[in-house]
């Protein structure tokens, strides 16, 4: 793939190098030449110094032929404006933008952009990791609004149904049950057994309610 990374700070440099090591053709744009020193010395992609909103700079980078665009500058307004222009003017659909300040996140959502809010997601992950580990996170979707969690059914809940476990928890959904090494998709009438391995999809509030239901502590360790 031909991929353009706009912004060569710590995030942009790390992303560009990861893409390069996986065999992609990578072009990095930044308005400061010094920013390219963030790239490892064995990076062999293209680097272009110039104003990222300048049309000539974008054409030099090959924006009209790119397969993907990552906007990771520390300016939320720059990221939003360039993402919108790339989609409307250049018909690029594969765009991912970085949200730097969480207070601007709603702006990205208004434009329907695929956004990664590292500050919001990072804070939530740190909060989760400070809690005890009876329930572990397997996968995070979006910016952590919904996650997949894994835990084992306590003996006290043996022979109760999935419906009994959730107890009208609308923010939590059981995705699978693994019993004796075999996984299956349950319904609300499925009876659980102590030691069953459960995968649930839940919001942060949903998993908090499930923790309380299971009698698990959320005290900071």
CA 74 to chain centroid: 18
Instruction: Give how far Cα 118 sits from Cα of 36, 72, 76, 100, 121, Å.
Output: 22, 11, 12, 7, 5
pTM: 0.67
Looking at residue 220, its pLDDT comes to 40
Query: Per-residue DSSP letters for 12-48?
Result: HHHHHHHHHHTT-EEEEEES-GGGGGGS-TT--SEEE
Q: What is the C-alpha to C-alpha distance for residues 161 and 152, in angstroms, rounded to an integer? A: 14
Show the tokens assigned to 146.
């919904």
Q: What is the pLDDT of residue 133?
A: 53
Q: Going residue by residue through the chain, which has 221 residues, state the pLDDT in tens, using 9 for 90 and above.
A: 999 999 999 999 999 999 999 999 999 999 999 999 999 999 999 999 999 999 999 999 999 899 999 999 999 999 999 999 999 999 998 999 998 888 877 777 777 788 888 787 777 767 766 654 578 888 888 778 899 998 888 888 999 999 999 988 999 999 999 988 789 999 999 999 988 989 999 998 999 899 888 887 554 43
Buried b (16+ CB within 10 A) or exposed e, 157-192: beeeebeebbeebebbebbbbeeeeeeeebeeebeb
Count of Cβ atoms closer than 10 Å to residue 153 Cβ: 19
Sequence length of the chain is 221
Question: Taking a C-beta distance cutoff of 8 angstroms, is the pair 5, 16 a contact?
Answer: yes
Secondary structure class of 80 (helix, strand, coil): helix
- Domains, the chain, ranges and CATH? 2-117 (3.40.50.720), 131-214 (3.30.70.1450)
Count of Cβ atoms closer than 10 Å to residue 218 Cβ: 15
What pLDDT does 176 receive? 95
- Per-residue confidence (pLDDT) for residue 219, from 0 to 100: 45
What tokens does 54 get? 């300048």
Alpha carbon distance 9, 134 (integer Å): 37
């Amino acid at each position: 793939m031909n991929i353009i990374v706009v912004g060569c700070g710590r995030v942009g440099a790390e992303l560009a190098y990861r893409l390069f090591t996986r065999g992609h053709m990578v072009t990095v744009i930044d308005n400061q030449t010094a920013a390219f020193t963030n790239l490892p010395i064995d990076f062999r992609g293209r680097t272009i110094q110039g104003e990222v909103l300048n049309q000539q700079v974008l054409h030099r980078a090959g924006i009209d032929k790119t397969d993907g665009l990552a906007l990771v500058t520390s300016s939320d307004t720059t990221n939003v404006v360039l993402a919108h222009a790339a989609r409307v003017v250049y018909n690029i659909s594969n765009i991912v933008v970085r949200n730097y300040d969480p207070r601007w996140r709603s702006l990205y959502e208004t434009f329907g952009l695929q956004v990664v809010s590292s500050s919001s997601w990072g804070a939530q992950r740190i909060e989760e990791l400070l809690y005890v580990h009876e329930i572990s996170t397997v996968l995070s979707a979006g910016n952590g609004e919904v996650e997949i969690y894994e835990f084992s059914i306590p003996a006290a809940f043996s022979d109760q149904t999935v419906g009994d476990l959730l107890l009208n928890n609308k923010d939590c959904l059981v995705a699978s049950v693994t019993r004796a090494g075999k996984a299956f998709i349950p319904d609300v009438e499925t009876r659980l057994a102590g030691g069953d391995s459960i995968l649930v999809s839940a919001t942060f509030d949903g998993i908090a309610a499930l923790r309380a239901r299971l009698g698990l502590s959320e005290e900071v360790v």
